[in-house]
A and B are shown apart, each in its own frame.
Chain A
């Protein structure tokens, strides 16, 4: 086996392609990870249903494109909006009643929510694999690198949304409120902030971004009701790597993992691919237990 496993040369063009592939993977991880991280920042609990919410977003976009024949861009934005509503609903029904309960309770509910979402989509849409069947999507060449329009969209969308999110968190009243809630729910409440509204907004924004990630992954590859799990796994790794609750840490973590996976598989068998993400994670946690950008103590996690 091994005699075929190692390719002799690694030319610049291949390195460039690997790097771009890593950016594409990182872009999808980043979109998913940001929402994950915001929820942790605001509520200090790990939303294991996040990947499933992304999956629902992907299927919503698919239904709008395949059955209602909406243009892809319109369907994409509509899916984000609808999934935002779903996120708010899930928080209201499944997490809010448990907000004062131990965090383990919400964590368990989150796992339950992910099962409910996966099963609902499976019942509604069937277990078959689905595909967007987008036309005119053949790849174009940038120098030595092949990229498809969807892949370009993945990187562009993740960058645009990151900038928009930065603006939202730093320049708007809602952003300030979100950061205040992340610093301490009780203090924020005393200061007259409607924390329920703020937390609902966090879920709306996070779910919309998750929907974007899910829909883009779906367009780039395909759709399956079980696709949420792997999104959760990757986003979780990115979030912990970057520092729980820190949005920019999540973005950096996502790109680090995406690039490391793609470069790594060039040299080692792909069976280790998921281990690369978690290997890096464990190494970083050794030296920086709170992640790359994380604050040291619990309760100090901030969104920015």
Chain B
């Protein structure tokens, strides 16, 4: 009898855990901006773009000894921004020297600790590890480059990495540890919008600047003045999918979406835009985060014979869905959201299962800034840049520039972030913040060819 009671108690406990698992997880939502902006923004900022990229690495030098900048730049900076450095170097040293450098030196001199500590909270383990580890890669690369080129006004940067396992409560604990014990005025992270949102009120309360790399839920804009995100917050992925449908010449399509805030958001905007454009949806099929068996869901979609299937998902689940679809003989043209354009997908799903799928990618892989970043990343990690590492890199670079300009205090950084982002263009694009501290962005279309993501030729 006692055993039975115990067993039932355990069941209850399990149910609660399962429910918590289901409701809490991942909602990071990489979304770039509206398409029009995509084409306009880069054009408008092209010139400053070129000048800004090198500045990211040089500015610290420039403040101390402009003459000395040249030598180290030749040896170290190229790692980061080879292409731009070579072509735009003169401009880079001129502009900042005249306008920003003096201000920066004053601010930095005010109080100079031995090291500038920056906090980092992300999903280093658990279901979101693909994204968290990638954010860590991008941040590490940025720190290497900052410190190799003299740190921030001579002071090196140290990032303290904390894991939130894609769990809101863990993120709050990690945040408090960073703020109370390490006394950081600024933290990077998290990736998932849900997790970022859970830290945000605490960050406002403690007056700590929070710079998320890829959180994009629209509700983040109401978070408060200490919140920033370097990935665009909008719902433009749906309309972008409609463009893909038009390019593919289809009027009928199926949709599969991961059942969390992010998936529902993208699905809703697509359904609305697609139906408005005269499209017909054959089926709109949800599936669950963290599941491993999607065969029934796939069969339901297969049963409607869609020529094109749009899917919004995360890497672990998407890989299984592509694999199981191939196993079940489901042939369709997959079109994915931005979270799936990662090298892990062909590795995990198997090359044959994902050959020819189309995916949206946030930012552009064709800019000189991205190409220089890619070279530096490959040199350090010996592999292609992991998903959104360029966004993590830019977040760290912006924070470094803001510390230099505004000083090592929350309010200094908060103010300076707006100013330094005004003209900054990094590997993930132009990062100018709107009034809510959110950057803009664009997409490009990618496809998998021989197991590699490459640009899609329309």
Residues of A near any B CB (own CB < 8 A): 1, 4-5, 7, 9, 14, 17-18, 21, 24-25, 44, 46, 103-104, 107, 122, 126-129, 131, 133, 137-139, 141, 146, 148, 151, 217, 221-222, 224-227, 230, 233, 236, 240, 244, 261-263, 265-266, 269-271, 273-274, 278, 281-282, 285, 289-290, 297-298
Contact = CB atoms under 8 A, between A and B. Distances in A.
Contacts of A240: 7, 11
Nearest to B353: A138
B284 A1 contact: yes
B259 A270 contact: yes
Interface string B287-306: 11011110111011001100
- Top 4 nearest A-B pairs by Cβ distance? A127-B129, A127-B125, A265-B296, A4-B284
A262 B283 CA distance: 18
B296 A221 contact: no
A18 B299 contact: yes
B320 interface: yes
A146 B284 contact: no
A129 B348 contact: yes
B286 A221 contact: no
Nearest to B163: A127
B340 to A, nearest CB: 13
A29 to B, nearest CB: 11
B273 to A, nearest CB: 16
A46 B22 CA distance: 24
30 contacts: A1-B284, A9-B303, A14-B299, A18-B296, A18-B299, A21-B295, A24-B295, A46-B7, A46-B10, A107-B10, A126-B133, A127-B125, A127-B133, A128-B129, A128-B344, A129-B315, A131-B350, A133-B347, A139-B327, A148-B327, A151-B327, A221-B293, A222-B316, A233-B18, A244-B3, A262-B296, A266-B300, A270-B296, A273-B288, A298-B3
A60 to B, nearest CB: 19
Given A5-B284, A17-B328, A139-B329, 19 more contacts: A17-B299, A21-B295, A103-B6, A107-B10, A128-B133, A129-B130, A133-B350, A222-B316, A224-B316, A230-B290, A233-B18, A236-B11, A261-B293, A262-B296, A263-B296, A270-B297, A282-B11, A297-B1, A298-B3
B171 to A, nearest CB: 16
B293 A25 contact: yes
Nearest to B303: A7
A236 B299 CA distance: 28
B56 interface: no
A168 B287 CA distance: 41
Contacts of A138: 326-327, 352
Contact of A7 (B2, B7, B283, B350): B283
A299 B290 CA distance: 37
B296 A244 contact: no
Contacts of A290: 4
A127 B3 contact: no
Contact of A289 (B4, B284, B315, B347): B4
Contacts of B86: none
Contacts of B284: 1, 4-5
B169 interface: no
B127 A226 contact: yes
A127 B22 contact: no
Contacts of B316: 129, 222, 224
Interface string B316-336: 100110010011110000000
B281 interface: yes
Contacts of B14: 233, 236
Interface string B9-51: 0110011001000100000000000000000000000000000
A222 B319 contact: yes
B126 interface: yes
Given A271-B288, A273-B291, A266 B299 contact: yes
A129 B124 contact: no
A126 B326 CA distance: 28
A18 B328 CA distance: 11
B140 to A, nearest CB: 15
Contacts of A289: 4
A102 to B, nearest CB: 10
A230 to B, nearest CB: 7
Contacts of B4: 289-290, 298
Contact of B348 (A44, A137, A222): A222
B6 A285 contact: no
Contacts of A261: 293
B8 interface: yes
A285 B8 CA distance: 9
B433 to A, nearest CB: 31
A236 B14 CA distance: 10
A171 B283 CA distance: 54
A278 B288 contact: no
B296 A266 contact: yes
A297 B3 CA distance: 9
Contacts of A244: 3, 7
B269 interface: no
Contacts of B291: 270, 273
A104 B5 CA distance: 12
A108 to B, nearest CB: 12
B367 interface: no
A126 B284 CA distance: 35
A122 B14 CA distance: 23
B61 to A, nearest CB: 36
Nearest to B327: A139
Nearest to A141: B329
Nearest to B255: A4
A44 B3 contact: yes
A44 B283 CA distance: 48
Interface in B104-127: 124-127
Contacts of B315: 129
B285 interface: yes
A266 B295 CA distance: 10
Contact of A226 (B7, B126, B285, B320): B126
Contacts of A266: 296, 299-300
B7 A146 contact: no
A7 B283 CA distance: 8
A4 B352 contact: no
Contacts of A271: 22, 259, 286, 288
A265 B297 contact: yes
Contacts of A17: 295, 299, 328
Nearest to A139: B327
Interface string B438-457: 00000000000000000000
